[in-house]
């Protein structure tokens, strides 16, 4: 429509009475993504007007009846908001990349999440020279989306920028990149050239066939993963120290494409966030180290940071349990990420003393057995069966907040020295003397 405004028409075969956008409020934008919606109107299947009202938290309702058609305008003013404040960041909302408007589907499309999942047809009427960049199936005059959740839980772009494509580890990747990130793209392409194969080997299967990825410039680095796409924002100016953070973030978000444990019906199970995030973080650390992306000094520092994170959790976070921390992940960050990473690391270290492949075998079996998804109880029951009860024992032990001496003693058998002083943590690998080789469960297999 011009002036950064998009006209949207939604037509449903099944009528609804409620629609939502994602809701990530910030201090200067309490109505978050919803503040970008204008001129919203609702109609019955016969074309009659229906009253529609905003009921808060990103939701609208038609209290007097069900609607089959909505029309509205979506103002692309998201760049005026700092989404990093009390929110996930623009990598999960919207951005402009080289003149192309990029949106998370749940920031653009009003969706009734309670409807039965069904395929969606999306037609675009764009200015000359514009194109769509998305993970959806391009069928000429429209794009086909396999279900409503894949509409909302994906990134897409509209504009003049031209994406490019690569293939790696069985994945076809479509890239849309902010030109300001060009100096680091060789490194990013190298990481995404190596990790899919490493992750596929660990999990025993590929994550999928194709993904669309978006790289944005920002003042801080982070990332978000979706159904068939993911987005990253990388801090400007580009600095070598920050590369440590965004490299791990990139590896973490890519690992989410493989790690299916803890999700059911497309949603995270809150009581399993420590597996979704903590195990993903630990496996990223382990496999990126084995692929040569962390030298010994950096690997030791990153492991020390996990211990420090859980120490910080004890000072500033008060969840009832590690599982309950997932119901407020943002407020219990360390109780989710650091605790989950510690559980994974100690379990890996102990299982690997019996069989170097045991931990990978357990993770593969948990993924294969998940069916429609686990609850906390069914997950722990299966985890214990596969580990002879060690999973619950280590979970309970970490949750009890072991003493420093207990940490030191338990990990020494695995070949890791740890030293604690108040909030300081130091990790060393003494196995190879001056070379400080990583312990067996973190070291690359002999054939790598």
378 with 342, same domain?
yes
* 67-75 and 37-43 strand pairing: antiparallel
137 with 252, same domain?
no
218 with 276, same domain?
no
Main-chain phi, psi angles of 256, to 5 degrees:
-60, -30
- By residue range, what is the domain housing residue 27? 1-159
Q: Which helix (H) or strand (E) holds 334?
A: helix 333-354
Q: Which helix (H) or strand (E) holds 350?
A: helix 333-354
278 with 248, same domain?
no
197 with 229, same domain?
yes
In a domain, 445, yes or no: no
222 with 320, same domain?
no
58 with 145, same domain?
yes
In a domain, 349, yes or no: yes
Contacts of 126 (CB under 8 A, 6+ apart): 132, 158
244 with 367, same domain?
no
Last residue of a domain, one of 209, 229, 258: 258
Contact 13, 117 (CB under 8 A): no
Residues constituting the chain? 448
365 with 292, same domain?
yes
Measuring CA to CA, how many Å separate 235 from each of 181, 232, 246, 249?
A: 9, 10, 9, 12
In a domain, 446, yes or no: no
175 with 134, same domain?
no
Name the token pair of 169: 């580890």
What local confidence, expressed as pLDDT, does residue 435 receive? 73
Main-chain phi, psi angles of 326, to 5 degrees:
-70, -15
> How many angstroms separate the CA atoms of 180 and 206, rounded?
31
What local confidence, expressed as pLDDT, does residue 32 receive? 97
In a domain, 272, yes or no: yes
Task: Work out how many domains the chain is built from and give that number.
Answer: 3
In a domain, 243, yes or no: yes
What local confidence, expressed as pLDDT, does residue 132 receive? 98
Q: Comparing C-alpha atoms, which of 275, 242, 241 is closest to residue 260? A: 275
> How many angstroms separate the CA atoms of 152 and 226, rounded?
9
Name the token pair of 322: 């590690």
In a domain, 441, yes or no: no
- How many alpha carbons fall within 13 Å on the CB side of residue 399? 14
In a domain, 25, yes or no: yes
Indicate the burial class of 298 (C-beta count within 10 angstroms; 0-12, 13-18, 19 or more). middle
- How many alpha carbons fall within 13 Å on the CB side of residue 379? 22
Q: Comparing C-alpha atoms, which of 411, 407, 409, 417 is closest to residue 437? A: 417
Q: Comparing C-alpha atoms, which of 398, 422, 399, 421 is closest to residue 410? A: 398
Last residue of a domain, one of 242, 258, 274: 258
* 210-218 and 229-235 strand pairing: parallel
Last residue of a domain, one of 240, 258, 276: 258
Q: Comparing C-alpha atoms, which of 231, 222, 239, 230 is closest to residue 187? A: 239
In a domain, 146, yes or no: yes
Measuring CA to CA, how many Å separate 224 from each of 95, 104, 121, 421, 427?
A: 13, 10, 25, 35, 30
Name the token pair of 31: 């109505």
CATH of the domain at 113: 2.60.40.3650
296 with 357, same domain?
yes
Main-chain phi, psi angles of 149, to 5 degrees:
-70, -35
| Max Cα distance, the chain (Å) | 79
CATH of the domain at 197: 1.10.390.10
C-beta contacts of 429-438 below 8 A and 24+ residues apart? 429/296, 429/300, 435/296, 436/296, 436/300, 437/296, 438/289, 438/296, 438/299
Contact 350, 414 (CB under 8 A): yes
Q: What is the mean pLDDT of each run of 10 residues along the chain (448 residues)?
A: 85 95 95 97 95 97 92 96 91 97 98 92 97 96 94 97 88 94 95 92 90 96 93 95 94 93 88 98 97 93 97 96 96 97 98 94 97 95 98 98 97 94 94 80 79
Q: What residues pair up with 158 in beta bridges, in sequence order?
A: 101, 132
214 with 332, same domain?
no
């Amino acid at each position: 429509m011009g002036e950064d405004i998009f006209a949207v028409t939604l037509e449903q075969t099944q009528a609804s009475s409620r629609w939502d956008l994602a809701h990530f409020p910030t201090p200067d934008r309490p109505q978050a993504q919803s503040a970008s919606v204008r001129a919203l109107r609702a109609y019955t299947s016969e074309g009659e007007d229906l009253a529609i009202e905003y009921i808060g938290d990103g939701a609208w309702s038609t209290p007097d009846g069900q609607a089959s058609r909505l029309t509205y305008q979506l103002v692309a003013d998201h760049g005026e908001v700092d989404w990093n404040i009390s929110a996930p960041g623009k990598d999960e909302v919207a951005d402009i990349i080289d003149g192309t408007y990029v949106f998370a589907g749940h920031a653009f499309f009003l969706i009734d999440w309670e409807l039965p999942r069904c395929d969606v047809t999306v037609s675009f009427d764009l200015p000359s020279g514009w194109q769509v960049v998305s993970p959806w199936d391009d069928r000429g005059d429209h794009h086909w989306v396999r279900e409503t959740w894949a509409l909302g839980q994906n990134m897409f772009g509209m504009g003049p920028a031209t994406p490019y494509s690569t293939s790696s580890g069985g994945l076809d990747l479509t890239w849309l990149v902010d030109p300001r990130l060009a100096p680091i793209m060789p490194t990013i392409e190298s990481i995404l050239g190596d990790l899919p194969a490493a992750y596929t080997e660990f999990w025993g299967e590929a994550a999928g066939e194709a993904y669309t990825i978006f790289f944005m410039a920002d003042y801080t680095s982070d990332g978000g993963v979706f159904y068939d796409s993911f987005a990253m924002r990388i801090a400007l100016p580009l600095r070598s120290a920050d590369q440590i953070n965004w490299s791990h973030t990139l590896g973490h978000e890519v690992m989410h494409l493989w790690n299916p444990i803890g999700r059911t019906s497309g949603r995270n199970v809150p009581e399993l966030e420590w597996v979704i995030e903590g195990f993903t973080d630990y496996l990223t650390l382990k496999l990126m180290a084995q692929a040569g992306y962390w030298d010994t000094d950096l690997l030791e520092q990153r492991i020390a940071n996990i211990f420090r994170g859980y120490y910080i959790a004890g000072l500033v976070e008060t969840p009832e349990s590690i599982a309950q921390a997932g119901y407020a992940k943002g407020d219990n960050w360390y109780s989710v990420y650091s605790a989950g990473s510690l559980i994974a690391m100690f379990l890996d270290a102990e299982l690997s003393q019996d069989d170097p492949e045991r931990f990978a075998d357990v993770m593969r079996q948990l993924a294969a057995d998940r069916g429609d998804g686990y609850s906390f109880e069914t997950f722990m029951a299966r985890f214990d069966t596969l580990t002879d009860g060690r999973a619950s024992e280590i979970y309970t032990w970490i949750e009890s907040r072991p003493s420093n001496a207990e940490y030191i003693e338990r990990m020494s058998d695995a070949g890791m020295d740890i030293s604690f002083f108040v909030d300081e943590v130091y990790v060393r690998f003494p196995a190879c003397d001056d070379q400080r080789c990583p312990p067996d469960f973190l070291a690359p297999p002999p054939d790598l």
